[in-house]
Each structure stands twice: as structure tokens, then as C-alpha cells.
Amino acid sequence: MTRMARDVLPVLTVVAGLLVVWYVLAVVLNAGFARDQAERDGVTLGPRALVAATLEQERPRLPAPHQLAAELWKTTVEVAPTSKRSLVYHAWVTLAATLAGFALGAGLGIALAIGIVHDRTMDASVMPWVIASQTIPILAVAPMVIVVLASVGVTGLLPKAIISMYLCFFPVVVGMVKGLRSPDRMLLDQMRTWNASAAQTLGKLRWPAALPYLFASLKVGVAASLVGTIIGEMPTGAVAGLGARMLSGSYYGQTIQIWAALAMAAMLAAVLVGLIGLVERVTAAAMGGRR
Amino acid sequence: MALVAAAVAVWLVGWWINARLARLPLEGAARLLPPLVFGVTLLLIWELAVRGLGVSPVLLPAPSAIWARLVASLPTLRADVMQTFVKGALSGYVIGCGAAILTGIAVDRMPFLRRGLLPVGNLVSALPIVGMAPIMVMWFGFDWESKAAVVVLMVFFPMLVNTVQGLAATEPMQADLMRTYAASYWQTLFTLRLPAASPFIFNGLKISTTLALIGAIVAEFFGSPTVGMGFRISTEVGRLALDMVWAEIAVAALVGSAFYGAVALIERAATFWHPSQRR
């Protein structure tokens, strides 16, 4: 109970506070439209009716949380998950590309980090460019990458996965280089006195020492992957996925649809980061670590 | 074919030079040499491969073509940078980071709020905030105000989390010392806690530089006046003028690096006492 009171209560308070702010904002932002509507109908709204009118609009500037919840319920539970109108379907399309990009990016990142740690040439020449590569605002170029890849016949999941890979590999490289170098001099010398090969040192000392760094950067990486995929779905031509859903919502002024897609993306991000945290805890326990 | 062979040769020579350089003890500016060699090698391979393999300029223009286009359209690029970076990204960055630091200081006074806000802030930092761009464009219109709004949203939470963590980084001993001096809250804040928090705050400021540029560019995809980096990229892609797109990318990378570098320099000047800045 004490732990509950200490950790959970503050979070709940903050969330409740945010919800209140949200409702107030919804009333303020939607009031103008509600008043116009009432004027056209020739009615004057009392304060209570005005508040009620702001929270029930079809295309509000800011949908109230309960409208969002209703839309989420309608598009996830009441529609078959295979239907194009189901948010589960779109989330799945996004998730598949995110996971593919995440796997590619994490793999590439780990491979690069191992290379950088073991080879001085790579360390001196590649590492600065890994950092420089991130100055290219890939999210801004994502539509181009998609269009160009489509013109050579690469469509579907892969172009999106490439963008999320590009975003994901960077935190993994940086974290893993730090992690693989984290064992101190003494331990490395100890491995040398045992005549351990480079591969043995990697497998038995460097890799286990790098795991906490790995998980920390995987969490950042998976969130970046998701963002990359969603942006990759935004250029015209994409018909499925949360990004496409946001774009079509913005074309047709379906604000509730945009917010629902955003909420779904937020949930995906939270679940993915949570899953990695879970794997982290299981691995730490299996390795005999205490946290 | 000869050009492709030349590309392979360039690659081998570049690798060999760097392998030799890596064994030398390099100091000062000479440490820039290996990455420079790597970059030049990359550009040469790109140029030779594009020419040798006859890659269509619609897919991947050669670096020389991109450079020619960049030089030829400097006025356009300048106007785009002014619109997207100076008006959109920079104003949003200043507002967002400023608001986050002030909020962080306010939150820090209430430990209850801090414990609640940190997990929420961490979660929000992991969310795809760029997705808010279409909504911000609806709210604030097509011009730079909506871009600045997206940037504010993107930088606010990473900055807030870093500020709050930084303010918690004060050593209890030092705080006790301030109390024995009978220092007021504000004296402690300005002479001890903010300086102690500045490595964290600068970390947040540096992360936010890239976020700001990306936010401003992406927001332009959802509607913009007929000027701006995001606008230019999306329209030139539509016209298949990829050399212009790449020129815009090069400028974006340059502006982004310069922005990051400027913040890093200010950090070095402001937190010269911190172990990570010692050499």
C-alpha cells in the first residue's frame, strides 16, 4: 500500500489533472463553432448548453476524451479486425513495418558497434559519420525515400522498414559502443591473462556488460522506429497504417479520426517500450542480477 | 565499367589510408582526418558509381549535380531556411524549451507532482508527437505559427524531464551547506541547483535541436505557404527534381549540425567545470 501511495498516486493525479485541462481546452476551443451554430439556428445558448454543445460536435477542433474513447471503442471492438475501417488493422500494418525496421536497425546497430569496438580503422572513420548521418532529417525526407523506392518497384512494408531502421540504428550504435567499452581495464587484463580470444572476451565479458546499455537504447530505438514508420505512411499513396489514417483524417477534417490514430500510436509505443522493459527484467533475473 | 572499377579502387585506397591513419597517434585537428577521408571516399564512390552504372538522376543524382543545383538556387534555399528554420523551428525551440525549464522549476517545488510527472513525461517523450502536426496546422493555420507549435510540443517533454532530473541532481551535502549559509530558495536555485542541473538541461537542449528542425519540416507537409524546406522537398519530389531535394537535404543537414554545434559550444562555455568537459 505504501508503494502504491508513493508511486501510483502521483501519476494518477497528474493524469487526472491532464484530463481536466483537456476538457477545459475542448470547451474553450470548440465554443466558437458551437456559438456560430447556435446563432444560425437562432437560439442563444446558456452556459450549460454551451458546454454540452462543445463536447458533442461531429468535427470538433479538439475532441473531448470521451468522444475519443467512443471512437476508439467503435473502431477497434465493433468492427472486424480485418476491415479497412478497423483501427486494429491499421495498427497491425504499422506494427509489422515497425518491428521489421526495429529488427534490422537493432541488428545493424549491434554489428556496427562490435566492429567499431574491435577495429580502430572503423572507430576512427565510421563513428563520426554515424553521428553525422543523424543530422540528415530523415523524417523530412521519408516521403522522398518512399516515392523513389516505389519507382524502382519496392513497395509495401520494406520502404517504411528502411526508414525506421535508419532512425533506430543510431541510438543502438551509440549505446552499444559505450556498453561494449564499459568493462574496465582490470577485467580486460584478466581476460588477457586467461589467454581469451577476442570472440571469447566479447561473448563472456563485453556482451554481458553491455546488456543494460543495450536495453536502454532499444527502448529509444523502438520508439524512433514507430515514429519513422508512421511518417513513412504519410505520403499519398499509402492507404493503410496509422500514418495514412492521420493523413486522410487531416484531408477530410475528421479530427476525431486523427486523434484516435494518435491514441493508438501512443498505446503501441507504450506497449513496445513496456515489452522491452519486461524482457530486460527477465534477462537481468536470468543473469543473476539484482535490480 | 572503368568508372565502377575506379570506384572500387577509390574504396580500397580510402580504406588503406584510414587503416594507416588509425595506427598513428593523432592529435588536435589531425583527428578530423580519418572521418574526412571516409567522407571524401564515400562521395567519390557515389559519383563514380552513379556515372559508371548510369543510374537515372530521377533515382539518385550524382554529388556534382547536387552541388551545381545547390549553388544555382541559393536564393531559394535561403528563403526556405529563413521560413522553416528561423521562423518555425527557432521560435518554437525558444518557446518550448523556455516553457519546459520554467515548468520544471515550478514542478520541482512539489515532490508529489514531480513523482507523478516524471513517468508521464517519459512516456510522452516516447510518443510519436510529430503526428500532432496535422492538428496544429488546423489550429494555427498554414504559416510558421503552426510549425512553431509543433516544435513546442516536440521539445517540451524531453526538456521537462531533463530539467526535473537535473534539479534532482544536487548533492545533499551541497544543499545542506547552502542551508547552513541561510541561503534563500532563490539563492540556492541560482547559485547551486541550476548550475548543478545544467549538464542535464544542455543534454535536453541538444536533443531538442534535431527534434525542432524535424518538427518544423514535417509540419510543412500538412500545409504551408509556398516557401519552406518541407514544402520544397514535397513539391520537388512530385516533380521528380531529385537534385533539388538533395540540395535541400544537404542544407538541412548543415543547418541542423550548425544548430547542434552552437548549443554544444554554449554548453562548453557554461559547464566548463563538469568532468565530461575536461580534457
pLDDT digits (tens, 9 = 90+) for B22-59: 777 767 667 777 777 878 888 888 888 888 887 777 77
pLDDT of B97 strictly over 50 = yes
Q: Are residues B35 and B89 in the same domain?
A: no
Q: Tell me: the pLDDT tens digits for B221-271?
A: 877 788 888 888 888 877 878 888 888 888 888 888 888 889 988 988 887
pLDDT band at A135, cuts 50/70/90?
Answer: low
Q: Are residues B47 and B148 in the same domain?
A: no
Q: Tell me the pLDDT of chain A averaged across its residues.
A: 82
Conformation bin of residue A197: beta by default, left when phi > 0, alpha when psi is -120 to 50: beta
Q: Are residues A142 and A261 in the same domain?
A: yes
Q: Would you state the pLDDT for residue A106?
A: 92
Q: Are residues B32 and B113 in the same domain?
A: no
Residue bearing cell 524502382:
A152
Q: Are B218 and B233 in contact (CB under 8 A)?
A: no
Could you count the other beta carbons within 10 Å of the beta carbon of residue B67?
16
Confidence (pTM):
0.80
> Is residue A102 included in any domain, yes or no?
yes
pLDDT of B95 strictly over 90 = yes
Q: Are residues B123 and B189 in the same domain?
A: yes
Domain boundaries, position B27: 2-55
Q: Are residues A120 and A7 in the same domain?
A: no
Enumerate residues 6+ apart whose C-beta is below 8 A from B233: A140, A141, A143, A144, B217, B245, B248, B249
**Among the ranges A129-133, A139-143, A254-258, which has the highest mean pLDDT value?**
A254-258
Q: Tell me: the pLDDT tens digits for A3-61?
A: 666 778 888 888 888 888 888 888 888 887 877 877 787 777 777 777 777 777 777 87
Q: Which chain A residue has its CA at the smallest distance from B251's CA?
A: A136
**Among A245, A255, A248, A249, which Cα is nearest to A30's?**
A255
Separation of alpha carbons A286 and A271, rounded Å: 22
Q: Is A208 exposed, middle or buried (0-12, 13-18, 19+ CB in 10 A)?
A: middle
B11 touches chain A (CB under 8 A): no
Residue bearing cell 510529430:
B130
Q: How many helices (H) and strands (E) does chain B have?
A: 13, 0
> Is residue A69 included in any domain, yes or no?
no
Q: Are residues A197 and A234 in the same domain?
A: yes
Binary contact (A230, B128; C-beta < 8 A): yes
Could you count the other beta carbons within 10 Å of the beta carbon of residue A45?
18
Note the helical H segments in chain A.
2-3, 9-41, 47-54, 65-76, 87-118, 120-133, 138-151, 157-180, 185-193, 198-201, 207-232, 242-251, 255-286
A267 touches chain B (CB under 8 A): no
Candidates B116, B127, B257; nearest CB to A266: B127
Q: How far is CA A113 from CA A43, A67, A175, B279, in A?
A: 68, 47, 9, 24
pLDDT of A134 strictly over 60 = yes
Domain boundaries, position A219: 87-286
Within 15-54 of B, beta carbons closer than 8 Å to A belong to 15, 18-19, 21-23, 26, 31, 34-35, 37-39, 42
pLDDT of B278 strictly over 70 = no
Q: Are residues A52 and A91 in the same domain?
A: no
Higher-pLDDT residue of A289, B194:
B194
Q: Are residues B86 and B9 in the same domain?
A: no
Q: Would you state the pLDDT for residue A166?
A: 85
pLDDT band at B124, cuts 50/70/90?
Answer: confident
For residue A137, give the H/E element and its range: none
Last residue of a domain, one of A61, A95, A111: A61
Separation of alpha carbons B117 and A7, rounded Å: 11
Q: Would you state the pLDDT for residue B277?
A: 65
Q: Are A105 and A161 in contact (CB under 8 A)?
A: no
**Among A238, A242, A274, which Cα is nearest to A259's?**
A242
Q: Would you state the pLDDT for residue B279?
A: 55
Binary contact (A250, B134; C-beta < 8 A): yes
> Is residue A50 included in any domain, yes or no?
yes
> Is residue A82 included in any domain, yes or no?
no
Q: How far is CA A17 from CA A13, A30, B117, in A?
A: 6, 20, 11
Enumerate residues 6+ apart whose C-beta is below 8 A from B216: B84, B85, B88, B89, B92, B147, B148, B150, B151, B229, B230
Looking at chain B, how many residues does it have?
Answer: 279
Separation of alpha carbons B162 and B260, rounded Å: 17
Conformation bin of residue A121: beta by default, left when phi > 0, alpha when psi is -120 to 50: alpha
Q: Which among A125, A129, A229, A267 is the top mutation candidate for probing chain B, defined by the most B β-carbons within 10 Å of its own β-carbon? A: A125
Q: Are residues B224 and B257 in the same domain?
A: yes
Q: Determine the distance in angstroms separating the CA of B182 from the nearest CA of chain A, rounded to an integer.
A: 30
A258 touches chain B (CB under 8 A): yes
> Is residue B116 included in any domain, yes or no?
yes
Looking at chain A, how many residues does it have?
Answer: 291
Separation of alpha carbons A104 and A112, rounded Å: 12
Binary contact (A139, B130; C-beta < 8 A): yes
pLDDT band at B143, cuts 50/70/90?
Answer: confident
CATH code, A176: 1.10.3720.10
Q: Tell me: the pLDDT tens digits for A67-109?
A: 888 888 888 777 777 777 788 888 888 899 899 999 999 999 9
Q: Are residues A21 and A106 in the same domain?
A: no
Q: Are residues B43 and B172 in the same domain?
A: no
- Counted domains in chain B: 2
Q: Are residues A255 and A208 in the same domain?
A: yes
Give the CA radius of gyration of chain A.
Answer: 24
Q: Tell me: the pLDDT tens digits for A209-251?
A: 888 888 888 888 888 888 888 888 876 556 788 888 887 887 7
Q: Are residues A103 and A246 in the same domain?
A: yes
Q: Are residues B256 and B184 in the same domain?
A: yes
pLDDT band at B96, cuts 50/70/90?
Answer: very high
Q: Determine the distance in angstroms separating the CA of A10 from the nearest CA of chain B, rounded to an integer.
A: 4
Q: Would you state the pLDDT for residue A291?
A: 45
Q: Would you state the pLDDT for residue B49?
A: 84
Q: Are residues B47 and B140 in the same domain?
A: no
Q: Are residues B47 and B147 in the same domain?
A: no
Dig out the grid coordinates for A241 from the structure: 497504417
Separation of alpha carbons A215 and A211, rounded Å: 6
> Is residue B248 included in any domain, yes or no?
yes
Q: Would you state the pLDDT for residue A237?
A: 59
Give the CA radius of gyration of chain B.
Answer: 24
Q: Tell me: the pLDDT tens digits for B177-196?
A: 999 999 998 998 888 888 88
Percent of chain A with pLDDT over 70: 94
> Is residue B61 included in any domain, yes or no?
no
- Counted domains in chain A: 2
ipTM field = 0.73
Q: Would you state the pLDDT for residue A1?
A: 52
Separation of alpha carbons A280 and A215, rounded Å: 6
What is the four-CA torsion angle of A145, A146, A151, A156, rounded to 10 degrees?
Answer: 140
Q: Are residues A129 and A229 in the same domain?
A: yes
DSSP letter (8 states) at residue B31:
G
> Is residue A19 included in any domain, yes or no?
yes
Q: What mean pLDDT comes out for the span A244-273?
A: 84
Q: Are residues A55 and A95 in the same domain?
A: no
> Is residue A70 included in any domain, yes or no?
no
Q: Tell me: the pLDDT tens digits for B190-234?
A: 888 888 888 888 888 988 888 888 888 888 887 778 888 888 888
pLDDT band at B102, cuts 50/70/90?
Answer: very high
**Among A167, A183, A170, which Cα is nearest to A126's?**
A170
Q: Are residues B83 and B176 in the same domain?
A: yes
Separation of alpha carbons B169 and A286, rounded Å: 32
> Is residue B17 included in any domain, yes or no?
yes
Q: Would you state the pLDDT for residue A261?
A: 87
> Is residue B14 included in any domain, yes or no?
yes
CATH code, B207: 1.10.3720.10
pLDDT of B91 strictly over 90 = yes
State the helix-helix crossing angle for B111-126 and A9-41, rounded to 10 degrees. Answer: 70
Q: Which among A121, A242, A258 is the top mutation candidate for probing chain B, defined by the most B β-carbons within 10 Å of its own β-carbon? A: A121
Q: Would you state the pLDDT for residue B180?
A: 93
